[in-house]
Amino acid sequence: MLLATPALAAPGPGVIHVPSDFDPALSDTRATGHYEVVGSGLRIWTDGSGSTDKVAEYVDTDVPLADVGEPTLDYTTTSGTIPPGFQLEVDVDDDGSIDGILVGEPTKYGDDWWLNNAADADMKADAPNTGGGSGSNWYGTLDEWRAAFPDAQVLAFGFSLGSGVQGDYLLNAINFDNTRYTFAADVVLTSKDQCKGGGWATSYPTTYRNQGECVSSFAKAKK
């Protein structure tokens, strides 16, 4: 009898598994930036205030900017005066590639979301407001960005602390697209004995339908 190969699971509703649900191609966590799962939260911190002090991670998605509401970070401050910002990687011309990053930092700029300097020129040209004063030369509320780019898609969402910012924060949750996301560490089983006692059900990103399938996967790996 042939047993199906265990498949990679999609992220559970309301749970971001760390690090498997982070897109490594979009990661900008640098040498002196760090993260770790603590309970159902994610601790993020930097060692100093230099260029390598940055923690930024993203989760892939594909939803209209028009539908995401007002995303927020639920965090607790351990130390620091500049908290992490919410980041939306946005495609505005429907070609499947990221045209710019909208950054929300409500403690600094209220309801305005600013556009990153490396964004496409066309997105900068049609920004709701220009001239600086709210994080970059191109900014606006999310409603203003939605009006400017009614067909925009969000291809990834995430957070950023830094660069050049020293701080220590606990992300309790990310609120995005009407879902509250908490965090869980990956559980990678390394032996068939770990499948027993319900251990098979805790495995992620590889998931199993039952204990027998879990045990069999290790038996096949030895062949």
Domain ranges of the chain: 15-186, 187-223
What is the model's pLDDT at position 13? 67
Q: How far apart are CA 179 and CA 175, in angstroms?
A: 6
Q: What is the mean pLDDT of each run of 10 residues along the chain (223 residues)?
A: 35 83 97 98 98 98 97 98 97 96 96 97 97 93 98 98 97 96 95 93 92 90 63
What is the model's pLDDT at position 8? 38
Q: How far apart are CA 89 and CA 64, in angstroms?
A: 11
Q: Burial, 213: exposed, middle or buried (Cβ in 10 Å; 0-12, 13-18, 19+)?
A: middle
What is the model's pLDDT at position 221? 66
What is the model's pLDDT at position 3? 32
**pLDDT 10s digits, 97-151:** 999 999 999 999 999 999 999 999 999 999 999 998 899 999 999 999 999 999 9
SS3 assignment, position 172: strand
What is the model's pLDDT at position 186? 95
